[in-house]
Amino acid sequence: MRFAKPPADVMPRSVRRRAAADLETFSRGRAPGTQRRAPWSSFRGVATTPVADSTDLQAFFDRCAATGSAEQHGHPQRLLAYRLALVRSLARPRPSDVVLDLGCGTGHHLLALAPEIERGIGIDVSPGMIELARARLRSAPGRANLNFETGNAEELTDIADQSIDLAICIGAFEHMLDKRAVLASIHRVLKPGGRFFCLAPDADYVWYRTIAPLLGWSTRHLSSDRMLNRAEFSALLDQAGFRHIQSAPWTFIPRGDVPALVANLLAVLDAVGRLARSDALRGGLALCAWKQAKPTQPKPA
Ligand SMILES: C[S@@+](CC[C@H](N)C(=O)[O-])C[C@H]1O[C@@H](n2cnc3c(N)ncnc32)[C@H](O)[C@@H]1O
């Protein structure tokens, strides 16, 4: 499946200039481990923070939260609108849905989806992120159907079995330490027929797979980060019991992680990839997987 609307990277020069200005603003308050360096000079990629366990992971994202956790990869509103369009296109949220956002961060996806769903629960391992999400919720009228709680997606201890219609995970799965445990938890809490939607970087992206390694540039914010390609992700979903797995490429340009010139080259590759239908040039992997619906009872004779 392909998505029609391209995001900011192929937009007019005036918009790109604004996005570049935004990036400059963000870079001043950049999250720890994500500092940009002078173009080309001593650039060796992103600074990688060592992570041994979920305490380190939580501490990293708490430090990100302390800076406000601003969007790093482009114009915040445009990227948010693009990601929401992907959710709507692949996972089709319904007015009766209870939606769980795993690794919700500042909660912006759920806050935007709230008017379209019955109820939303955002969970994040970082208390700092949950504080930011709750602060946003307090200043967003008409979002009484949402709540945000600290929690680990590997366990989902406070979420009842078969209580969720749609679980979403955006820009977080690659950071989660035990991916099998996360998928098992999601499968447990989904209702029969429920679906899991995920947006992640694609491990087969030419930038991650070939160009950055050739240049010797690091691409991981956390030493524990692990990206998956389509086949690996599908296999894990299958092992967790999901059926009917759909996937599609999406435009993900890691603008916050590379000098502007490289980001612009990646945007050109993305445009070529969209035309040539070459997923390896696109950067992002979108997946939606279904938990099997209850088998229908045979009618009594
Ligand atoms: C890059 S942020 C993305 C946040 C948000 N989804 C967004 O798109 O803006 C990744 C988030 O995943 C959270 N996270 C990582 N591992 C987690 C886990 N095992 N359980 C819950 N949250 C986790 C982090 O605390 C962080 O807030």
**The predicted structure's pLDDT at residue 152:** 98
- Tell me, in angstroms, the distance from the centre of ligand 1 to residue 181's CA: 15
Rounded CA separation 289/166 (Å): 10
Quote the domain boundaries for residue 187: 8-291
Per-residue model confidence (pLDDT) at position 89: 96
- Pick the closest to residue 132 from 105, 112, 158 (CA basis): 105
Q: What is the pLDDT of residue 296?
A: 62
Asked if residue 267 lies in contact with residue 15, where contact means CB atoms within 8 angstroms, the answer is no
Residue 2 lies in a domain: no
Q: pTM of the entire structure? A: 0.86
Rounded Cα distance between 65 and 130, Å, is 9
| Cα 100 from Cα 149, distance rounded (Å) | 11
Query: Does residue 92 belong to any structural domain of this protein?
Result: yes
Round to whole Å and give the CA distance between 185 and 42. Answer: 43
103 Cα to the center of ligand 1, angstroms:
3
CATH number at residue 122: 3.40.50.150
| b/e map 208-223, b = 16+ CB within 10 Å | bbebbeeeebbbbbbe
Model confidence pLDDT, tens digit, residues 227-270:
999 999 999 999 999 999 999 999 999 999 999 999 999 999 99
Task: Say how many Å lie between the CA of residue 250 and the centre of ligand 1.
Answer: 19
pLDDT at 209: 96
Q: How far apart are the C-alpha atoms of 4 and 180, rounded to whole Å?
A: 32
Q: Could you tell me if residue 301 is inside a domain?
A: no
Q: Whose CA is nearest to atom 9 of ligand 1?
A: 105
Residues of the chain predicted below pLDDT 70:
1-42, 295-299, 301
Say how many Å lie between the CA of residue 88 and the centre of ligand 1.
20
**pLDDT of the residue at 23:** 29
| Mutation probe of ligand 1 site: the residue of 175, 177, 186, 257 with most atoms within 8 A of C-beta | 175
- Which atom number of ligand 1 is nearest to the Cα of residue 152? 20
Q: At what angle are helices 54-66 and 127-138 packed, to 10 degrees?
A: 40
Pocket of ligand 1 (CB under 6 A): 57, 61, 102-105, 123-126, 129, 152-154, 170-172, 175-176
| Dihedral Cα 214, 253, 30, 182, nearest 10 deg | -90
Q: Which atom of ligand 1 is nearest to the CA of 83?
A: 8
**End-to-end Cα, the chain, rounded Å:** 42
* 255, part of any domain: yes
Q: Are 84 and 256 in contact (CB under 8 A)?
A: no
| pLDDT recorded at residue 301 | 65
Q: Which of 61, 131, 132, 170 to mutate to test the pocket of ligand 1 (most atoms within 8 A of CB)?
A: 61
216 within some domain: yes
- Overall domain count for the chain: 1
Is 230 inside any structural domain? yes
**In a domain? residue 298:** no
Say if 193 falls within a structural domain. Answer: yes
